[in-house]
Amino acid sequence: MLYQWYETQRALLSPFAEFASASAKLYGNQASPFASMPGAQRMAAGFDLLNRLAKDYEKPAFDIRSVPVQGTEVAVQEQVVLQKPFCRLLRFKRFTDHPPVLERMKGQPTVLVVAPLSGHHATLLRETVRALLQEHKVYITDWTDARMVPTDAGPFHLDDYVHYVQEFIRHIGPDVHVMSVCQPTVPVLAAISLMASAGETTPRTMTMMGGPIDARRSPTAVNNLAMNKSHEWFENNVIYRVPPNYPGAGRRVYPGFLQHTGFIAMNPDRHLKSHYDYFLDLMRGDDDNAEFHRSFYDEYNAVLDMPAEYYLDTIKTVFQDFALVNGTWEVRGRLVRPQDITGTALLTIEGELDDISGAGQTRAAHDLCTGVPKAHQFHYDVIGAGHYGIFSGRRWREKVYPQVRDFILRYQDGRVAAQAPAPALAAPAAASPAPAPRSARPAAKRATPARRPRTPAGQAG
């Protein structure tokens, strides 16, 4: 009944949100006579905030229309490459009439970004995609809200996620570079491991960012909840059926609004302060900061439902059985063996202040991928970055993206087996000490790794 109650509450709040939006414009529009009333600015700000707290947030658009390539703005168009019941494979196709730029783009690396299926839409990685498009051909997994998938499409398990990733890799081709952000680090590693075990050509590189490869290391509040509650508790307390007003009526899901509540509960004071600061920005007429707040929460508040089977599988496999690191995970009868990967270079990235995937959880991939030569394993710690900071914002643009770009470029013209050991662009994983607890990791002792120079302009990457 919880889902039905939530839908009823949402329907009741909708007219109030519309009223608040109209009132904010009535008091805030300088052409309105109400704007000259005493306290009109405060009234407009208050109604605007009330509207944002009460409104329903739909899935945002990527809204990437153009990007700079070699100093030239090129057009970008979203294309649906593959359509599956629970996911679309999107390509951001770039277009230009400038011959030198077009020739440059043809030789650039191809990257598959595997977005998380953990509550938010793939558009959360908008900045990730925008940066990559400057020097790469980019694909992304766009997961479907489970409440929009009819029940006759069948269930969706964690095993299905792994097979989706494999299908996308095969469709794009063996020269692809795969990047997984947060949750998909585990199924992506499984997908590539199974391909390697079967003798298939694996991607040139895999970049894994802020994911729970080994959730036992530096467990966070998210990990503790999953570890301390039984599998039955999750099935009985957080799984509900989609109400009849959606295409997926009757499907068992982990509702997005519950996940969103959990996100907020992790840092309630921070969100409360953010909304109050937004109110003050509106009062001061600080449009830039107000727009930044709106953009962030338009994305943050837009959530999707996850298929119950997939969610429960993930809880058990990743956070309770630790099946990947224990070597006991079977996907449709085939054992997942990361040690069978030999031809794919590995880069792991962690945020120093990540409160979702703790220090060392992603780095654990190096202990599993023993078949990858140590000279082709790299790790990068992002000083001062939280979970979102490793794939969006200033630290992503200025620190993380250059590392990812140079790592991918290094293996664009040759695979691991054909590469001679070269100076590390980030510290080689084998040479880097295991991460100490956060309180014991002074920033002054952790220098930013050296960067490999960009490829000269005009030279194919």
Q: What is the pLDDT of residue 425?
A: 57
Q: Which of 138, 124, 50, 153 is nearest to 90 (CA)?
A: 138
Length of the chain measured in residues:
461
The pLDDT of 111-136, averaged and rounded, is 96
Q: Which of 290, 314, 297 is nearest to 118 (CA)?
A: 314
Distance CA 331, CA 159 (A): 6
Neighbours of 72 (CB within 10 A): 15
Q: What is the pLDDT of residue 260?
A: 87
Indicate the pLDDT class of residue 428, thresholds 50, 70 and 90.
low
Residue 429 reports pLDDT greater than 70 = no
Fold held by 66-231+306-431: Rossmann fold (3.40.50)
Distance CA 27, CA 181 (A): 43
Read off the pTM. Answer: 0.86
Distance CA 132, CA 301 (A): 25
Indicate the pLDDT class of residue 69, thresholds 50, 70 and 90.
very high
Which single residue is written with the structure tokens 């890799």? 169
| Contacts by residues 44-48 (CB-CB < 8 Å, ≥ 24 positions apart) | 44/282, 45/279, 45/282, 45/283, 46/279, 47/20, 47/21, 47/23, 48/20, 48/21, 48/24, 48/282
Indicate the pLDDT class of residue 426, thresholds 50, 70 and 90.
low
Residue 107 reports pLDDT greater than 90 = yes
pLDDT digits (tens, 9 = 90+) for 250-280: 999 999 999 888 878 878 898 999 999 999 9
Helices and strands, counts by H and E, the chain: 16, 14
Residue 454 reports pLDDT greater than 80 = no
pLDDT digits (tens, 9 = 90+) for 293-334: 998 898 889 999 999 999 999 999 999 999 999 999 999 999
Please give the angle made by the CA atoms of 47, 51 and 56, to the nearest 5 degrees. Answer: 175
Q: What is the pLDDT of residue 452?
A: 33
Q: What is the pLDDT of residue 291?
A: 92
Q: Is 32 exposed, middle or buried (0-12, 13-18, 19+ CB in 10 A)?
A: middle
Q: Per-domain residue ranges for the chain? A: 2-56+256-300, 66-231+306-431
Residue 165 reports pLDDT greater than 80 = yes
Residue 195 reports pLDDT greater than 80 = yes
Residue 420 reports pLDDT greater than 80 = no
Residue 114 reports pLDDT greater than 50 = yes
The strand ranges marked E within 210-357 are 240-241, 252-254, 306-307, 330-331, 334-335, 345-351
Select the more confidently predicted residue: 311 or 432.
311
List strands edge to edge, sheet with 345-351. Answer: 66-69, 72-84, 87-95, 137-143, 110-114, 177-181, 205-209, 345-351, 377-382
79 close to 140: Cβ distance less than 8 angstroms: no
Q: What is the pLDDT of residue 153?
A: 97
Residue 444 reports pLDDT greater than 50 = no
Residue 140 reports pLDDT greater than 90 = yes
Q: What is the pLDDT of residue 122?
A: 96
318 close to 212: Cβ distance less than 8 angstroms: yes
Q: Is 422 exposed, middle or buried (0-12, 13-18, 19+ CB in 10 A)?
A: exposed
pLDDT digits (tens, 9 = 90+) for 334-383: 999 999 999 999 999 999 999 899 999 999 999 999 999 999 999 999 99
Which single residue is written with the structure tokens 């970049």? 207
Please state the φ and ψ torsions of residue 345, each to the nearest 5 degrees.
-75, 150
All residues at 6 or more sequence positions from 9 whose CB lies less than 8 Å from its CB, including other chains:
none
Residue 97 reports pLDDT greater than 70 = yes
pLDDT digits (tens, 9 = 90+) for 40-52: 999 999 999 999 9
Beta bridge partners of 87: 84, 143
Q: What is the pLDDT of residue 36?
A: 87
- Round to the nearest angstrom and report the end-to-end CA distance of the chain: 55
